[in-house]
Homo-oligomer: A and B are copies of this chain.
Amino acid sequence: MKSNTDILVIGGGPSGIVAAVMGKSSYPEKDVLLIRKEKQAIIPCGIPYIFGSLENSAKDIVADKLLNTANVKLRIGEVISLDQKDKVCKLTDGQEISFEKLVLALGSTPTDPKWLKGTSLKNVFTVQKDKEYIDQMMTRLKGHQKVVVVGGGFIGVEISDEINKIGKDVTIVEVLPHILGLAFDEEISIKAEEQLISRGVKIRVGVGAQEILGDERVTGILLQNGEKLEADAVILSMGYRPNTELAHKSGLEINEMGFIVVDEYMRTGNPDIFAIGDCAEKRDFFTRRLSRIMLASTATSEARIAAMNLYNLSVVKTFGGTIGIFSTAIGDTGLGAAGLTETVAKRDGFDVVTGTFEGVNKHPGALLGTHKQTVKLIVGRKSGIILGGEAIGGTGVGELINLVGFVVQNKMTINSILTAQIGTHPLLTAPPTAYPLIKAAEVVAKKI
């Protein structure tokens, strides 16, 4: 059987949803169909919180209402082949769907480290974006107490904090010198480690996993320094790889890092086929070098760009490369980063000066719930252009880092911060006399 649509979106994650909804709103006269494998799509960034705060996966499901109210059609099914020339996709059940424009939002899958012995032992898990898998994982974790999480990136840190919250004995093993070491400079990562440790999470940094131990089921883990950690369960959180088989088989170009090659309109080599989100090529905003940063928020930004350019290109709506904008929380401590860290900026050859200010997130500081708040800015020495910023403080850091992200994306200078009008309120922000973003800019200004 064969059916057809104008716009076909493959993938029901955040970028697929946004591309479909915005595709329909940009081209209301076109039919939009979204096809996904999962009966119920899980909200990816919410997965770590299923284990503690949310209590079960049913609370972390994408509401299909968003698609329905936007008049996007939804089909559950798996596309197994794509014919680029005839512009038709084939499903596992033999059905075919032809399209005018195709958006690949194929997502990513946890890395399976083949070099690590013991990953197939019972009670060794990865963090899969799959409701059934997560449900089984939760059931299995219930009976076990000692958990080792391999990988101290965002997912590893968030899951560790949540599993610790429900009373497990958790140890993070991170091969880099510090947890969250790709997103933050050392001094911020150290503060994050202090937070986790104060909450009861154990941390081993600067050492990788050598072997997962056990017969049938896991009993421990051997580290590269010879140390053995006992474990009833091991969670591998060692990154994700882009899902690109469908694209690759159809002849679309894949880059050296394994992502589908796209241009700044998110078009593949075939102008009728777009790729967005975790499966699509990423480049750094400042250097244009290939990047591996996969984020739901960046994915939705790519989705909006693709959707707006499906039938007509717009010169002002392009994707200029990923700035890398992250946020997370450990308890009531929020952390965020946007743009380049000092470490990365220097590694990439930028001549930078930095400014850090430590203040508070409410004022006066005597107010209940006042939290220390630190902001660091990384600035081009000659241009004064803000290349990046990092923040650690209260929960307001989530939006504060979005402000920094705007500054970075628009290549603003420290002057734009020094002269900025900001709003302040005792219960919501730092004081007007010591707003950390401005104070950090002052530190930079003195150095330039």
A interface, CB within 8 angstroms of B? 14, 17-18, 21-22, 25, 43, 45-46, 48-49, 53-54, 59-62, 66, 295-301, 304-305, 308, 316-319, 322-323, 325-329, 334, 336, 338, 363-364, 366-368, 395-403, 405-407, 409-410, 412, 415-416, 418-429, 431-435, 438, 442, 446
> How many copies are assembled?
2
7 closest A-B pairs by beta carbon, nearest first, are A398-B428, A59-B366, A399-B399, A325-B423, A329-B427, A327-B425, A403-B403
Known: A14-B433, A336-B428. 6 other contacts (CB 8 A): A45-B425, A45-B431, A45-B432, A49-B426, A295-B423, A300-B433
With a CB–CB cut-off of 8 A, which chain B residues contact A429?
327, 398-399, 402
Q: A299-B432, A319-B419, A416-B410 are in contact. Are A426 and B45 (CB under 8 A)?
A: yes
**Least CB distance, A123 to chain B, in whole angstroms:** 26
* Chain B residues positioned under 8 Å from A435 (CB to CB): 297, 300
Contact of A297 among B336, B367, B422 (CB under 8 A): B422
Least distance between A412 CB and chain B CB atoms (Å): 7
C-alpha spacing A34/B366, complex, angstroms: 25
A395 and B427 within 8 A (CB): yes
Q: Give the distance in Å from the alpha carbon of A161 to the alpha carbon of B438 in the complex.
A: 30
Contacting pair A423 B326 (CB below 8 A): yes
**A22 to B328 CA separation, bound complex (whole angstroms):** 33
**Counting chain B CB atoms within 10 Å of each CB, which of A301, A405, A421, A438 scores highest?**
A421
Tell me the complex Cα distance, A396–B396, Å.
5
In the complex, how many angstroms separate the beta carbon of A63 from the nearest chain B beta carbon?
A: 9
Distance of A258 from chain B, by nearest CB (Å) = 22
With beta carbons under 8 angstroms apart, the residue of B300, B323, B398, B418 that contacts A317 is B418
Contact of A318 among B43, B336, B419 (CB under 8 A): B419
Contacts of A406 in B (CB 8 A): 403, 406-407, 416, 420
- Contact, CB under 8 Å: B45 / A363: yes
Are A329 and B428 also in contact (CB < 8 A) when A308-B418, A403-B399, A423-B401 are?
yes
Do residues B326 and A43 form an inter-chain contact, with CB atoms below 8 A?
no
Cα A419 to Cα B442 with chains together (Å):
29
Residues of chain B contacted by A305 (CB below 8 angstroms): 419
Looking at the assembled complex, report how far the CB atom of A225 sits from the nearest CB atom of chain B, in whole angstroms. 33
- How near does chain B come to A150, taking the closest CB pair, in angstroms? 22
A363:B46 contact, CB within 8 angstroms: yes
Question: Which B residues touch A396, using CB under 8 A?
Answer: 395-396, 398-399
Give every chain B residue within 8 A of A368 (Cβ-Cβ).
Answer: 53
Give the docked Cα–Cα distance between A423 and B409 (Å). Answer: 12
From A446, which residue of chain B is reached at the shortest CB distance?
Answer: B25
Measured between beta carbons, the chain B residues less than 8 angstroms from A18 are 432-433
User: Chain B nearest CB: distance from A64 CB in Å?
Assistant: 12
Distance in angstroms between the alpha carbons of A304 and B14 in the assembled complex: 42
Smallest Cβ distance from A180 to chain B, in angstroms?
A: 13
> In the assembly, what is the distance between CA of A32 and CA of B364, in Å?
25
Once A406-B420, A410-B410, A424-B296 are accepted as A-B contacts, the answer to whether A14 and B431 lie under 8 Å apart by CB is yes
CB distance from A140 to the nearest CB of B (A): 23
